[in-house]
A = this chain, B = another copy of it.
Amino acid sequence: MSKARLGNVLIGQSGGPTAVINQSLVGIVETCRESGRFDRVIGALHGIAGILDGKFVDLGRESKKTLEAVARTPSSALRSVRKKPTTEECRAILHRIEELNVHAFFYIGGNDSAETANLIDQMAREEGWELHLFHVPKTIDNDLLVTDHCPGYGSAAKFVAQAMMGDNEDNRSLPGIKVDVIMGRNAGWLTAASVLARRHEGDGPHLVYVPENDFSMSSFLGDVERTYKERGRCIVAVSEGIHAKGGAQLIVEGEKDSHGNAQLSGTGALGDFLAAEIKRNLGSKLRVRADTFGYLQRCFAGLASEVDAREAREVGRAAAQAAIKGKQISGSIAIRRKDKRAYEVAYDVIELSRVAKNTRPLEERFIQGSNDIHEDFLEYVTPLVGELPKTAHLTEHPL
């Protein structure tokens, strides 16, 4: 393997942040620096927007101490962007990359960011460039194709589990009907993680609705009524992406980003709508509450899953190593689960086009009917989240 200098490295972060996306950033930076093969490790601020606007920082001069502290800080330290580049913008980005003598470009993000990377990669190949371009996966939605799971998901799932554990105790103490809206535009992976909160007989969530199923208001109301009658209380976990038959949204929101995604988060509208429907149909005197877990799910400070943090670092390192080895011109990193029982993973380099744009729904085998998650899902999700706090109930000996 030649030890020749390879020019510079460029890194950007894109899409919704996660609690561990900076681990991936630091994994790339440290691997590139350790290799001694690059002149400069450059960061673009706000992803491709920073490349277009010429907003760069020198990551080669950050101290190890700062990098380690940044790795443990939630959200995207290089700032983020939600932007799909036009053909002209792709060309401008490539020119900037040439200007900066960039040998390897790393783009940390989800499926939309992989699409952006793929567009730039395709143009680079068409025009005969020798750019190494790697997408480094992150998304709390866990909906990237190919990979067993996505960095960022384990930490968000841990937040959802601990929130639901607490909410279950809250609802047990002051009974009523509680609707909890959980992130997940296209896929129910994060909503499914709420079942980690079932620690004792009778614990919620008692009903779980994911966007992989069409949502029927009448079935929902029937489920809630039956559960409330049986248990005297009912906690519902609902994905923000639930929709009526044919994909129709339950309530209409206005805003869309340049990838065509409607705004679902940052509003309590869906939860309030479902709570109002329950009251209107099942009784206005019922105690019905709704919480929308919102942005807290993806960036809560100090709650990252250890496994998730470690793997996020490793996908960054794996991408940097792939670029240094040079076997592949471009690609994305996928996590492969080698051993289920001992939980061991490997990192594969896969083709960019395989993760770009499209998303992976919650697997069918993990969905139980129209309103629950199959217990097999626990085997899948538990190692990603790590240890959860212990909760206990009184034995309640009779007098």
Binding site for B on A (CB under 8 A): 13, 16-17, 19, 40, 42-43, 45, 56-59, 61-63, 66, 69-70, 72-82, 162-163, 165-167, 169-170, 172-175, 178, 265-269, 271-272, 275, 288-296, 298-303, 388-399
Question: Closest approach, in angstroms, between the C-beta of A246 and any C-beta of chain B?
Answer: 27
Complex: A290 Cα to B255 Cα, angstroms: 14
Complex: A377 Cα to B289 Cα, angstroms: 32
Q: Which 8 A-B pairs have the closest CB atoms?
A: A268-B268, A266-B289, A302-B389, A69-B392, A75-B169, A166-B299, A291-B294, A165-B301
B394 and A167 within 8 A (CB) = no
Which residues of B have CB within 8 Å of A76? Answer: 173
Question: Closest approach, in angstroms, between the C-beta of A167 and any C-beta of chain B?
Answer: 6
B268 and A77 within 8 A (CB) = no
- Which of B82, B292, B395 contacts A174, CB < 8 Å? B82
B268 and A267 within 8 A (CB) = yes
- In the complex, which residue of chain B has the Cβ closest to the Cβ of A75? B169
Question: Closest approach, in angstroms, between the C-beta of A168 and any C-beta of chain B?
Answer: 8
Which residues of B have CB within 8 Å of A391? Answer: 69, 72-74, 301
A397 and B166 within 8 A (CB) = no
- Name which of A62, A174, A290, A398 has the most chain B CB atoms within 10 A of its CB: A174
B301 and A291 within 8 A (CB) = no
7 pairs of residues in contact across A and B, judged by CB atoms under 8 Å:
A58-B398, A70-B394, A76-B173, A79-B175, A170-B298, A291-B294, A292-B294
B301 and A75 within 8 A (CB) = no
Complex: A40 Cα to B397 Cα, angstroms: 12
Which residues of B have CB within 8 Å of A73? Answer: 169, 390-393
Given the interface pairs A167-B296, A268-B290, A296-B166, the reply to whether A172 lies near B301 with Cβ below 8 Å is no
A290 and B302 within 8 A (CB) = no
Question: Closest approach, in angstroms, between the C-beta of A29 and any C-beta of chain B?
Answer: 10
Which residues of B have CB within 8 Å of A66? Answer: 392, 394-395
Complex: A364 Cα to B295 Cα, angstroms: 32
Question: Closest approach, in angstroms, between the C-beta of A240 and any C-beta of chain B?
Answer: 12
- Name which of A45, A72, A76, A169 has the most chain B CB atoms within 10 A of its CB: A169
Complex: A72 Cα to B318 Cα, angstroms: 40
Question: Closest approach, in angstroms, between the C-beta of A253 and any C-beta of chain B?
Answer: 11
Given the interface pairs A167-B296, A302-B162, A388-B302, the reply to whether A396 lies near B57 with Cβ below 8 Å is yes
Complex: A17 Cα to B267 Cα, angstroms: 25
Question: Closest approach, in angstroms, between the C-beta of A395 and any C-beta of chain B?
Answer: 6
Which residues of B have CB within 8 Å of A267? Answer: 268, 271-272, 275, 289-290
Which residues of B have CB within 8 Å of A292? Answer: 268, 291-292, 294
Question: Closest approach, in angstroms, between the C-beta of A107 and any C-beta of chain B?
Answer: 15
Which residues of B have CB within 8 Å of A291? Answer: 266, 292, 294-296
Complex: A165 Cα to B59 Cα, angstroms: 24
Which residues of B have CB within 8 Å of A395? Answer: 61-63, 66
A172 and B79 within 8 A (CB) = yes
Question: Closest approach, in angstroms, between the C-beta of A101 and any C-beta of chain B?
Answer: 12
Complex: A133 Cα to B72 Cα, angstroms: 48
- Which of B56, B69, B298 contacts A399, CB < 8 Å? B56
B170 and A75 within 8 A (CB) = yes
Question: Closest approach, in angstroms, between the C-beta of A154 and any C-beta of chain B?
Answer: 15
Complex: A45 Cα to B302 Cα, angstroms: 35
B174 and A80 within 8 A (CB) = yes
Given the interface pairs A58-B398, A170-B74, the reply to whether A295 lies near B302 with Cβ below 8 Å is no
- In the complex, which residue of chain B has the Cβ closest to the Cβ of A254? B284
Which residues of B have CB within 8 Å of A397? Answer: 57-58, 61-62
